Structure 1
C-alpha cells in the first residue's frame, strides 16, 4: 500500500511538474493567483473606502440636521430621526461622561465619542468599534455652544458599517472569491491544454502500436493547420520513407536468396558426385565442402523464411492437429537423443501446417543440440489455448538471457560451442510464426535444462476433444 501511494505521488508530481501540460497549468495558476490577489485587494480597499465614505456622509447629515433643529428650537427633549438618516444619535455632556438624550436605538448605551469629548474636540469624525455596537460604526459628532441640555454638549451620530468590513469578513470573502477563480482557471487551463495535446497523445499511442514488420500503417493527422498537423504529416512521411527502405531491403534479401538457391543446389550435387569419385586422401576435404554447402543452403532457406514473415505474405490456413504434427516431427528424428512424446489427441489450431512443422523442427533441433540424454515433447490443452512444450535436460538458459536467444543471429556461448555451424535464426523464426497466428513462444522456468512453451489459440472446432 505504501509503495502504491508513493508511486501515485510520483506519478502526479511528474504529471504536474515535469509534463508540459502540468508545468503550463502550474505557471498559469501561479501568475493568475498573484494577479487576482492584487486586483482583489485593490478592489477590497476601494469598496471599503466607498462604503465608509457613504456611511460617514450619512452620519454627518444626521448629526448636522439634528444640530440645526436644536439651534432652531425644534428639538427640546426627545430625539428622533427621519427615514434615510442614522438611527443611533446621542446628546453627550460636555465632559463626555453622560448621555443626556438619545434616539431609541442608542438609549442605554455609553457615549459613542467619550474620548473626543473629554479632550475638548469640537468635531468627531472617525471609524470606531465600541463594545456597545455590534461590529464597527462611523462616528460623527458636532459640539454645540448652547442647547436645551446646557453649553458644550455634542450631537453624536453613529452609522454601522457593513459586516463585509469587519475584521474577518472581507479577507474571508476575498479568499473564497480567489479560490473560486483559481479553481476555474486551473480547470480551464488543464482542460484546454489537454485538448490541444490530445492529437499528440493519439499520435504517440499510434506510434507505440506500430509493428516494425508492418510499416503500412499511418498516424492520425489533425486538421489544425498548425504545428501539430505538421508533426503528423512529418511522421507519416518518415514512415513512408522507412517503409520504402524496408521493402527494398526485403526484396533484396528475397531476390538474393532465390538467386543463390540454384547455384547452391548445383554445388551440392557436384560435391556429392565428387565425393563418390575422389580418393581417400581427398574425401575429407570434399566432405567438409559439402557440409559448408549444406549450411549455406540452410542459411538461405532461413533468410527466405524471414523475408516471407517480415512481409506478412499470406499463407494458406487450415485446421492443424498439433499432436499429429508433433508425432511426425518426432518420427523423422534419427537415433540421436532420446525423445519422449506426451501428446493429447485432438488439439486443433488454425495455422499453416508447413510453418507449424517448421516451428516444431526448430525447437526439436535446438533441444537435441543442448540435451544431455533426452528431450520431452508435450502437447495438451490449457483452457482456450493449445500448449506445446519442448524440454531438454541440458544446462538451461539463464533468466537474463532468455529473451536474447530470440534475437536474430544471436547465439549464446554454449550454442556456439555445441554447434558452430548454426545460424541463430531458428528460434526467432519460431517465435515470429507463433505470433503471426496469435500465439506466443517463451522460455519457462525448469528444474533442469530449457523449457520452450508455445501457446496458440484453439480452433473453434478444436476444443471438443476429437
Structure 2
C-alpha cells in the first residue's frame, strides 16, 4: 500500500508536514526560553531595586543580624556585598552562602545584569546588582538579587506538550491525506473496474462520470469519448465485413455459375458472351479490391509521395480519358497548384466524375479556381440532386441512396468516402454545396505557397 500513489502521497505529506512543524517547534522553544529568561531577569531586577530602595530609606534591614526581607514576589536570592566582596547582608535563602558575584566587585562595576552558574548553587541564576553610594555598611556596597533560571524540565515542559501536539497533528494529517486521496481515487477505481470488465459489458457500456470537476471528471469523459469512438469503429468494421462479403459474394457467385455453365455446354457452343460477362464480374471484383486496399492505406495513413499538382492539367488529363456518357464542360483557371499525390487526386476526380455520370441528365461541369489561400475544384451535374438531409450520409462507407442503387446496382458505395478521406489527408475538405439543379461537389485544398502568392 505504501508503494501506491495513495501511500506515497501520504508519506510525502506527513514528512513535509513534520519538517515544517519541527521548525515551528524549535522556534517556539527558543521563544519560550527567551520569554522565561526575560521573566526571571525582570524579577531579579525588581527585587534588587526594591532592596536598594529599602536600604536607602533604612527600612526592611536588620543591620545587626544582616538579614534582608524578601517578599513572595521577589527573587529568592538576595545579598549585599561590601566593596571587598564580603557578604554583609543576605536573605534567608543565601544566608551563609558565598558571594554571588565577587569577581565583578573587583572590577568596580556599577551594574551587574547577567547569567551566572556559581558552584555552590544547583542551578544557573540570573543576577542583577547595582552599587549604592551610601548604606548602613558603608559606601560602595552592591545589592545583588538572583533568581534561578528555569530548569530543563521546566524549559521543556511546553516543548513536550508541543511534541505531543505535533504527533497528534501528524496523525491527523496522515489520516486526512490517506482518506482524501482515497476518496479522490474512488472514481478512478470505478473506471478501472469498468474498463477491466469491458469484454463482458461490451463497447456500448460507459464508465460513470463523477460531477466533481477537474481532472477525474475529464478522465471519465475522455474514456467515454474513446469508448464511443471504439464502438463506432467496431460498428464500421462489422458493417464493412458484412457489406464487403455481400459485394464480393455476388460477382464470385456469377463467375462460378458462368464457369459451370460453360463447362456443361457442348463443344460448339459460342462461349464469348459468357466470358465477357465473367470478365465484367472480374473487373467489378478488381474495383472492389482496389477500393478496399485504398481504404486500408487511408486508414493507416500510409504515406504517398507528394509533388506540386496543377489542378487544371489534372482535370484535362482525367476528362480526356473518359469516353461516352454525358458531355463534360470545363472552366479551368491556370496556375492553381496544390501539394499532393497526383494519383490520389486523380482518384478523387475520377470518383466525382463517375458519380456525376451516373446521375447527370445532359451535362457535367468541372471548374477550377482560386479562393483566397485555397484551390477550389467543383464537379456539378444536372441530375436530380441529393437531399440536404442525405448529404453527409453519402460520405459514409458502403452507404448508397436508393437512386444510386437503381442507376448503378454494381456500385460499392466507397468512391465518395475515399474521395473525402483523401481530401482531408491533404488538409482540405470535400462537401456537397447548394445548387439550383443537380449535385455540386466542392473540393478545397490549400494552395502551395508559390501558387498562393500569384
Q: TM-score range by the shorter chain?
A: 0.3 to 0.5
Greater gyration radius: 2
TM-score scaled by structure 1? 0.45
